[in-house]
Structure 1
């Protein structure tokens, strides 16, 4: 990615740009809110820097180019060592130029770099004396920061007592994970407050809050260790002379949370090429991380290289931030559309003033449900923070309330189904048409016939519309009673296409129970959950006989989800009966029904044992499959794993048994190597499950 700069044409425009940038920084670092998103701010500052390069005699003293990030925030606690920010690069070309400059400055090529995520939070210094946490200080203007010691006890990953009784300063980033952010907004709105715009806004406001009626947790990631007055000479020398990677290992030994325990651990690279490869891995993993990052931090790892490079007034010369495209932008909420899904769910969708996020123009974003709109206090015409990461559907986070003009209007909620005019069931947060699946029969049937469900080739949306319009199909079961003459009477249905469709429908009758459950589209279940239910209960009779307590024994189904699944299966009873009468398979091959009582006296569930070459194994698939596995979709790979007795997973952890790493495998392969998890090529995995591939 190459980021251009805002064009500044004269001194007046320069002065206005500086004023705008300084104001945005003050808002951002004081409370996490700003009228500019990250990309807009970066463009503005780069424009300011470009103008100053050509007019060095006209640089304003308040210009952001020479200040530490966060300098707008005053503090009264002096830092023992300046707490600097980082300069940025935006492309591989700019990074290569930086490495050349660094080599020229220190007199030799750098042979060790540390590469890790640039966390989207607030810099924090934590001072420990005798191993006990005594003081927390923000970055402030880099020379002095704000005392936020009152936040001790609310920050996960920052222990109150270290594993050793040392006197040391731990520097790092405090942020809210995605889960903490959602929790914070629930608590905040429950106490009558406006929701935070984003996790950084939430962390900034929470860190400084002293007299709130509630507390919410944050998370700390350490990235540095420094001596303090009182640090022993031996430890001080170690902190000064050690490589950065060794310091991070020491921090972890002290009990401080670092990126080492995440999917994007800080690693050591031995060349610029290796650095760029790690940059790509972290960028690829970004969308799946449980916390926000806005780039990658690259440092000369060796202490000697850092000391030779030195630091400027704003940033160290031995470190750089490789910025990634912003995943959050501010735009306006123009309208709210109400769409009806295949199961009758009525979902609001935001119509936005077009905005480019991560290379894509975004005009629509999800609003989750009516209760979420109310919780977030959204109004038509609001400036809103929109989030998009990777292929994740864009979502509206919150209104930027300080940009309101008074012209905003309330969002109107529907009082009848916007598709068919029927009533609306508002008993749950997700509203639903009282007609349920029949409200959107075409979408429901097209979904059921898809590749990952019943896989009825030739039954696309156009053909489904024909069947519904002709009155031949009123529900899923009717597909299995279609006759040849009925199909031949339809337009564009000759003998060959008719016979092919009937063959595909007959084949669909033999699909395993997991596919049938998925085709039914029970709320709260999807492909993986349908497989778990089918493998646990083995037959539809056992599934239907399960009460909420029995349903909870299935992995991933908790106390809240179980009753709704049981209730919906009861609601689907007539349709299931019709499917059974039509001869549709209702068993899961290779699965064994649970014993009559799967809850021992100690209250823990006992899942039926699964046999097979992967019995007891947790398997993650990453990268492109080749050989015998090349034609399998990711869902079919997961099905294969579970038929072999294993459990499919999407993330690598210490509980992972095997990672199948195909072509282009990135961060998941790296995480497996770091944790010592067994790796297999697609061919090796195919050999393991060869009997099931026949």
Structure 2
């Protein structure tokens, strides 16, 4: 059994003496009470877990001092209450934090039942609220929270607001389905939009939103939640045959039956439950799910491992707090609470004015976070953010950290309003506030040097010898007012600049001449169209083949390009209209406006290629990487040795693939060069196909030699 795991367990809180223990118990009890009542805990999950483990460690060392108020060994930390008895106790789960702890736990289960466990079920631990949904003759009649495990709170008023929990089942059976109610990321954003529009404070995170919404009555607005089933059991009135089946079916069979009744489960997600037989297989699946976590449309905070067979579960039994046949492998926290210290206003090369949050440093998912994205001023207003707020910050994988919302119940009254700029922070000009993303009225001219330098950069026009210092010279001399002016520079003009001799002048003119013939994908990227980058520019260029076709395309046609939705298509169309004079200047200067090897789509929007079988128009030619997500890592060798990373990405996309920077469960192929490191390790664990640079060159040989 390997000892590698997605993250080492966070250190338990250190509790030195009886006074510290009493304070820790009180803090944990308060936090648990708020967490299970409204989701508004004073501690984030990671801090609560560390505190609870510290309490347990102190109690193990000092059993004579265990407090009756201690959360240890109690469902919901002993904080939740309810008045509707459960048919069968609705327990919590114990946790493990490492591969070693997982192996120890699986061994303990097998010792307890006196035989090897034949099969384990492995599924995501969804970050929501546990509820029991009672169906009578197929009709949903009652919804109850976990409460203290023996009785819960009746929240039947929420029936009809929860996606995945149908009012009627596919069969008229009497049954209790248990699962998690949560908000997906999209539902959370929509809930906060609706809530703040009605004058309410935004929810701090999706779990907080689900907890508050599930218990809310008589609101003037309605927001959706989602249900994921994870179990089922008989009730009074369940037929004898079905009751016997529910008691004897393996967990995996049981959940397939629940799904067949029309209840939403995790089965159709990227982290669908699996049945496995060894601890090594379980750990490999944990690592797969952890790698997918950042891309999921809902939150998970761990992976649940269960003995699959009903006989094994019965033999293992349950304690007062948790079953002995199931455990939660906790993943590292991807959200924590910290303080919003300041907001910086930065102006991008297109003139967009972007706010950035300055945070009190906090460690999340193995890295220290000091900044977070705020998107735009409307986002700040909608989230009701204030300087000095305690804020919930989310980070997952390679995603830029973001502030989800202020933790309103932790406000002290000392917080201050965020001041929005009245003029452009870069040049002092006016600000266009007509759209959500504010912009300097001078647009690209506000950051002319940055805009021209970007266009001349290696991954765009690649004009060697044209760095920032030289661009500043050209702008200050009045020779360049946009990137098109570079192509009309004369030898005499350049020789008139300081530190420009004949050799450097001739070299620069030669580099500019070479740039004139760059492929359309590079030219389009050099324009700096908002909402696009290198990869998107390549996709647009290959889809339309020529600038004239891109300019003629409306939003609907642009949406045929992979990765362009309604909003981005509208932005691109508007940007191209704004850039029309610059594009015309580039065309007049003889700059190439076509993409080598690409064929424009016919009228009607079909893709490039040969004739379709019915003669209706072109069909796409098959390419070796069609439909594949490809990651390139390490130093390239052989035929690929001289290619930059951007050129490698261009090669991937010319051959039909989609280039990606990180390995996940969706990665189809890893090109592993020398020193591939952690990405290769992750690909091996996920079972991803790995090829050497030489093998990859052979795979895409027909597309080599087109680099610029």
TM-score by length of 1: 0.88
- Provide the residue aligned with 1:690 in structure 2: 701
- Shift of the 502–97 alpha-carbon distance from structure 1 to 2, 3 Å rule, reads farther
- More deviation in 32-41 or 552-561? 552-561
1:122 pairs, out of 108, 125, 129, with 129
Structure 2 gap segments, 5+ residues each: 1-7, 607-615, 673-678
Task: Give, in whole Å, the separation in 2 of the partners of 1:164 and 1:671.
Answer: 39
Q: Decide whether the 8 Å contact of 1:346 with 1:433 is kept in 2.
A: yes
- Shift of the 598–612 alpha-carbon distance from structure 1 to 2, 3 Å rule, reads closer
Task: Give, in whole Å, the separation in 1 of the partners of 2:682 and 2:405.
Answer: 31
1:102 pairs, out of 109, 118, 123, with 109
What is the 5 A alignment of 1:22-61?
22-61=29-68
| Aligned-partner SS, 1:64 | coil
- Shift of the 670–359 alpha-carbon distance from structure 1 to 2, 3 Å rule, reads closer
Q: Decide whether the 8 Å contact of 2:113 with 2:316 is kept in 1.
A: yes
Q: Decide whether the 8 Å contact of 1:282 with 1:667 is kept in 2.
A: no
Deviation at 1:596, TM superposition (A): 5.0
- Shift of the 429–279 alpha-carbon distance from structure 1 to 2, 3 Å rule, reads same
1:381 pairs, out of 370, 383, 388, with 388
- Provide the residue aligned with 2:286 in structure 1: 279
Deviation at 1:662, TM superposition (A): 5.5
Deviations 1:148-194 (A, max 9, x none): 12212221122222233322221111111111111111111111111
- Provide the residue aligned with 2:24 in structure 1: 17
- 1:220 counterpart = 2:227: yes
Q: Decide whether the 8 Å contact of 1:659 with 1:669 is kept in 2.
A: no
- Provide the residue aligned with 1:346 in structure 2: 353
- 1:443 counterpart = 2:450: yes
- Shift of the 226–508 alpha-carbon distance from structure 1 to 2, 3 Å rule, reads farther
Aligned residues: 680
- Provide the residue aligned with 2:418 in structure 1: 411
- Provide the residue aligned with 1:251 in structure 2: 258
Q: Decide whether the 8 Å contact of 2:632 with 2:648 is kept in 1.
A: no
- Provide the residue aligned with 2:187 in structure 1: 180
- 1:193 counterpart = 2:204: no
- Shift of the 167–343 alpha-carbon distance from structure 1 to 2, 3 Å rule, reads same
Q: Decide whether the 8 Å contact of 2:683 with 2:690 is kept in 1.
A: no
Task: Give, in whole Å, the separation in 2 of the partners of 1:670 and 1:660.
Answer: 13
Task: Give, in whole Å, the separation in 1 of the partners of 2:452 and 2:11.
Answer: 48
- Provide the residue aligned with 1:621 in structure 2: 630
| Aligned-partner SS, 2:318 | coil
- Provide the residue aligned with 2:610 in structure 1: none
Task: Give, in whole Å, the separation in 2 of the partners of 1:363 and 1:48.
Answer: 30
Structure 1 gap segments, 5+ residues each: 600-606, 674-678
| Aligned-partner SS, 1:350 | strand
Deviation at 1:117, TM superposition (A): 1.6
Deviations 1:642-687 (A, max 9, x none): 545678899999xx9x9446666899999999xxxxx896888766
- More deviation in 350-359 or 256-265? 256-265
Q: Decide whether the 8 Å contact of 2:632 with 2:661 is kept in 1.
A: no
Deviations 1:392-417 (A, max 9, x none): 11111111111111111111110001
- 1:236 counterpart = 2:247: no
Task: Give, in whole Å, the separation in 1 of the partners of 2:157 and 2:687.
Answer: 39
Q: Decide whether the 8 Å contact of 1:328 with 1:385 is kept in 2.
A: yes
- Shift of the 247–145 alpha-carbon distance from structure 1 to 2, 3 Å rule, reads same
| Aligned-partner SS, 1:618 | coil
Q: Decide whether the 8 Å contact of 1:119 with 1:293 is kept in 2.
A: yes
- Shift of the 163–448 alpha-carbon distance from structure 1 to 2, 3 Å rule, reads farther
- Provide the residue aligned with 1:602 in structure 2: none
Deviation at 1:73, TM superposition (A): 2.4
- 1:519 counterpart = 2:526: yes
Q: Decide whether the 8 Å contact of 1:116 with 1:264 is kept in 2.
A: yes
- More deviation in 440-449 or 610-619? 610-619
- Shift of the 92–428 alpha-carbon distance from structure 1 to 2, 3 Å rule, reads same
Task: Give, in whole Å, the separation in 1 of the partners of 2:385 and 2:65.
Answer: 43
| Aligned-partner SS, 1:240 | helix
TM-score by length of 2: 0.87
Deviation at 1:304, TM superposition (A): 2.4
